């Protein structure tokens, strides 16, 4: 079924050019009064909304609690992305096989990976420290939104693309982008200060999957997880045992589950600790690959980060 979907979208893309005009740089321009923008994740959608305000319609394919590593595009997604005027996605293979679709679509309309123009020197090479046989292909950790300072580069990328697609609202977009970057700068500083308040020996963040590498690097907290950077990654009894031993050796009192990842694997770690006489508890739920429900504090990127920082700080101090 999924393979048929990819075939279908490829066929439709070949005929897709209605209401658009080919631009010299290979992208497309549109004369619509209000643009329809589609993003893959809610985090990207929130940045776009802060920039475009009421000058464009913004929809995200992956809502609260959705794991982008496992996400499979639906027929409804096909309709949304083929009808969208502009599409933004994360890149770095966060969206899995869907990235193939978006790369094909980029030949026909404005489709942009927000990671494309970010400083590559700040990306985490996931192969570093891994076994030699895994180093044949460079794999970057895609969870770039957990370094707020790095993520602020997405504002520049989106602003640049929106000015090109909707020049009449350039001043409006530029003002909004500047305001939002100031908000992110304050958020970054606040996050640094709060995590620094945790005693160094207690600064160990243990989660279900390895989504917090950028967070650890940016805010000086050690990070460990049961699974790798993708929830597709399998884990075994040895992984559970190693994590149990680390928690006991370091006398860690709290581990954290994630809103978009099943809690059961980490519960096996907690059970393993308890069997060895070490009491460890769930310190709270973190938002990793998806934000919270719309209308809640964690339903925005800023609110999501604040929730995570406050939860981690409260449990580990």
pLDDT of residue 19: 42
**pTM recorded for the entire structure:** 0.86
Does 182 share its domain with 231? no
Total of domains in the chain: 2
User: Of 187, 212, 233, which one is at a domain's C-terminal end?
Assistant: 187
pLDDT of residue 229: 65
Does 61 share its domain with 149? yes
Does 104 share its domain with 210? no
Does 42 share its domain with 121? yes
Does 114 share its domain with 200? no
Does 107 share its domain with 152? yes
Does 254 share its domain with 142? no
Q: How far, CA to CA in Å, does 46 sit from each of 9, 74, 222, 315?
A: 26, 22, 28, 28
Q: Which of 93, 58, 73, 106 is nearest to 230 (CA)?
A: 93
Does 256 share its domain with 154? no
Does 155 share its domain with 206? no
pLDDT of residue 25: 44
Return d(Cα 70, Cα 157) in angstroms, integer.
Answer: 26
User: Of 187, 205, 221, which one is at a domain's C-terminal end?
Assistant: 187
Mean pLDDT by 10 residues, the chain (317 residues): 51 46 45 90 98 98 88 88 96 90 93 95 77 60 97 98 97 98 98 97 91 96 83 73 93 92 87 95 95 96 98 95
Q: Would you say how long the chain is, in residues?
A: 317
Residues 198 and 127 sit within 8 Å (Cβ to Cβ)? no
pLDDT of residue 2: 47
Does 157 share its domain with 201? no
Does 15 share its domain with 115? yes
Does 182 share its domain with 202? no
Return d(Cα 285, Cα 42) in angstroms, integer.
Answer: 18
Residues 173 and 159 sit within 8 Å (Cβ to Cβ)? yes
pLDDT of residue 103: 93
Domain CATH number, residue 198: 3.40.50.1980
């Amino acid at each position: 079924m999924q393979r048929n979907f990819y075939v279908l979208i490829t066929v439709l893309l070949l005929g897709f050019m209605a209401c658009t005009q080919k631009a010299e740089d290979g992208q497309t321009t549109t004369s619509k009064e209000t643009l329809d923008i589609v993003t893959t994740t809610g985090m990207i959608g929130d940045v776009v909304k802060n920039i475009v305000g009421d000058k464009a319609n913004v929809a995200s394919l992956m809502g609260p609690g959705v794991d982008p590593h496992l996400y499979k595009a639906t027929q409804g997604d096909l309709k949304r992305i083929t009808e969208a005027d502009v599409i933004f996605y994360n890149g770095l293979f966060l969206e899995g096989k869907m990235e193939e679709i978006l790369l094909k679509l980029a030949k026909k309309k404005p489709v942009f990976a927000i990671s494309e123009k970010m400083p590559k020197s700040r990306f985490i090479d996931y192969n570093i420290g891994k076994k030699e046989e895994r180093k044949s292909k460079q794999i970057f950790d895609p969870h770039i939104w957990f370094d707020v300072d790095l993520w602020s580069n997405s504002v520049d990328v989106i602003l640049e693309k929106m000015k090109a697609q909707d020049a009449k609202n350039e001043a409006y977009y530029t003002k909004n982008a500047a305001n939002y970057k100031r908000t992110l700068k304050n958020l970054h500083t606040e996050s640094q200060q709060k995590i620094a308040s945790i005693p160094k020996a207690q600064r160990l963040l243990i989660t279900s999957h390895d989504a917090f590498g950028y967070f650890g690097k940016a805010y000086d907290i050690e990070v460990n997880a049961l699974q790798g950077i993708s929830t597709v990654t399998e884990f075994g009894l040895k992984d559970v045992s190693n994590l149990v031993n680390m928690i006991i050796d370091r006398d860690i009192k709290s581990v954290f589950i994630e809103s978009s990842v099943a809690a059961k694997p980490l519960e096996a770690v907690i059970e393993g600790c308890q069997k060895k006489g070490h009491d460890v508890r769930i310190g709270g739920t973190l938002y990793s690959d998806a934000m919270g429900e719309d209308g809640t504090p964690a339903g925005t990127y800023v609110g999501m980060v604040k929730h995570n920082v406050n939860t981690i700080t409260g449990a580990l101090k």
